[in-house]
Structure 1
């Protein structure tokens, strides 16, 4: 049977493709663009979007720039913007390519183009630029201080100048080895590695040491050194340089944190949660214990955003995150998957079916009770009381051979069953053995 190959291509493109009017109305959207914007069908998305410029671009002026470029050149290439994932209002970065489609008289009929999410790529570029800036700054400071040790590894010289660590520390360390300085925080194995380098009389570069600074702040120093020999070839000590690399270490830790945590709430993100879930399944295989997986969806969240604005919605998400965290143990994991969806993973639950069920019901009731009190979404300027309801799907995990994805699908199905039962309720899937 004949099929429209162009239509098939449009639908199956792995990146978003669209057709829109010059006035900012969405006319067509393929499956990838529908998914990018958080919708299930093209019809749902087209009905929800009324003005691309004001509803999609975080900076509405980007739409004006976009249309101006199209008017001037007939096409736009690599147009990068921060936009909203339309349904969830999550901020993402996209790259657009577009062109005008005109009739025989040269009048613009509509725009056609593609949209590709580049949030991860954009963040990596920003991180890279920040890292390069830090590297250039630290390179200029690579000789912050100069040090010398005698043959016994004791400081005989430490020139600090006006930068780096506290100049007063120079007198305190003379005659002592690094191992005798209580502010240096290394493990026994790290000290052994450091001493082995000195014993072998090796040159070393950027050996990083943790230092307990003022107010218990952890600082990081990178030291480089080379052995010193006299004219007869006898080893007489070490000399080297040191620099403060605290900012780099803190930036790296921040980047690692951002890679696994939700920026708005600080909770674990989907990537970290799925890893924790897989670890829990692996642990179940060793211990024989059960685990409990909860999937929570806030009811009517979109209407709150529509009525009160995204600041109120963000405030609700942050407060929900705080309350959920307060419901669980420190060893449990609370995550925001995106939008208004949250998950909770509780490990090491009793392997007895009846006790596990009692524990699960108690935990689920505690979560719902935590959300029962009104939220104040008004901030410092005003008071805005908001009653939030949620639908909670709960799964008791017994089978350590189940996949993490399968467990999530069960929890998601239980949540939708709770929502279908009237919202604001709990559905516990305890019978399935998967």
Structure 2
């Protein structure tokens, strides 16, 4: 080993001595230096590349974060801005545009303390200084301006934004629009104040109870109602305060509703105030539930209705009793009858209904005055009350009419009682101014209950039975027994049947209008027809007006029938006008309609509904309505006002049956009419009766002088027509010219341009013998008596010397069933 080491060092020394290594060493050193320089350059390059990459990544992340921040900030509902220490806005999000309407550039560099509401400027400046100096967060309420004018309420949060050296030089302002919330809060505050004002000033008192029924709120109104201060009732149980008796039915009802969590409304109860006064309350309450539908109690209101309760009871007595006799009135009687019928059906019992009318009472009243009449009515009421049991019902229907309900009694026993009443009334009288005044009574009786017949039917039956008692001689009882078969009972049944039939026809518009031509002496532009009503029975046969007119008048259907006829004629007129067909139509009005001011607006409405020409409508009024129907007599001024009101609308009027009454000429003087229809009693015998010719001539001359057209009725022969023309009658109506027919359009075409001269050579309709449709129709009409309307019957004449006319019975005209066929 030593030898080897020695040899190595010897070699090294030999090399050094000889310097053969120097070039190699220099080369190695140079290569090492170059390698070192390259390595340093490469390392620096890689470091720069990595640094640049890191910077780029960091920059991209910062830009991404910034973009996200801006997107989040711009999409935020709240307003966000950054200002410097002086308050100049350096950044604003898009909410400033959405909420306030300003663009970002408009507000950039604007000083916030100078921009906000004047009242907030000083406060905002102080907030900015505080945040910059002390840091932290400050909240405040401000008002920002809106680009359209006005101010927006905001909640503001200001927070310092430190720089990299952690020194605060900027402020972040975060504002939220609370305008709507502020409005709601303001409205809530106003409502709360309004509620307090209402609760404090209302005569009612408001209350609220908890689950246990104890008061937790009571309005000040309770002091006026019950005398308690609201604080006195807080915590007290509502039922114990209002109901002293635990067994009170009202308390039981309220508690039952509370247990079921049901509302209760306007329950009336009597309670006592703090001072012991009786008070009637009207109580209402509704259950209260929270958002989880958990029951929390009740709230409601209570009203003091003591005065109105007492007044209502007084009004009820006035409304249900007759002020003179103290008996029940007609309306209350009907209620009692309905109750009696229900109870009788339920318990299988029976009773009777009595309708009573005092005979000749009107004579006493008119002759001796109302004081005498009232004394008689009081005496009769006492007798009736004394003649029945305490459970029976006695009522005064009005005037001299009374009604009685006898419970649980058979017809024979009731009839015996009624007979004793009749005897007592007959024996009763009063001494008045030295005169003994007496009356009798007619009574109609009907048994109840009847199968499927209610109170209305029983009242009609008893009423009709009472009229039958009068027809049979008065001062008697007529029993409308269900198993009776007399002619009188049959008449009662017939009227009741026709009442039902009329109502059905009116409700279903099941009646028909016929029209009869009125032919002028000289040709006119438009033909004139009289409207005639036709009602059919259940078998489809034309019914005589005598069958249903009495029923309609007696049971208050006549005016409804009048208006139905008018409406049907207006509809027909409208249709003809649309087709260019021009006609005039006359319509009869009943006594119930004539002079009734309530009818005028109804007719005006019908005229407007169908836009008809009122000058083409003539309303016929019969003078005998007032003369022969005293019950419906109206003051002449009322009739005149009625006619004038309709004439102002354009309608025309005709005075029908002229000459039948003793005051015909007076009516002609005071009533403004356009036509006069001379009664047929003066027309039909013109050829043979010189007196009739004299009367007709006088009437025509009078009407001509007054500018009134004349029409003669009952024209059935050419000879009568010729005399009429000679006397100057302006037009004629009767079977010589036409029979009533339903097709007004066809009649209009047939009679337009015709005058009496066109019928001078023809045969009267009743004498037409040719075969065919006309002959068959005439035969049918004659056979069924349909050629005679109610108005064809004879009426009393002004010529008292003629016994045949004086003896004839006056009859009323049917609505629309006017002139002779």
Q: Tell me the TM-score normalised to structure 2 length.
A: 0.28
Higher relative contact order (Cα pairs below 8 Å, separated by 6+ residues): 1
Please identify which structure carries the higher strand content: 1
Q: Tell me the TM-score normalised to structure 1 length.
A: 0.48
| Structure number with bigger Rg | 2
Please identify which structure carries the higher helix content: 2
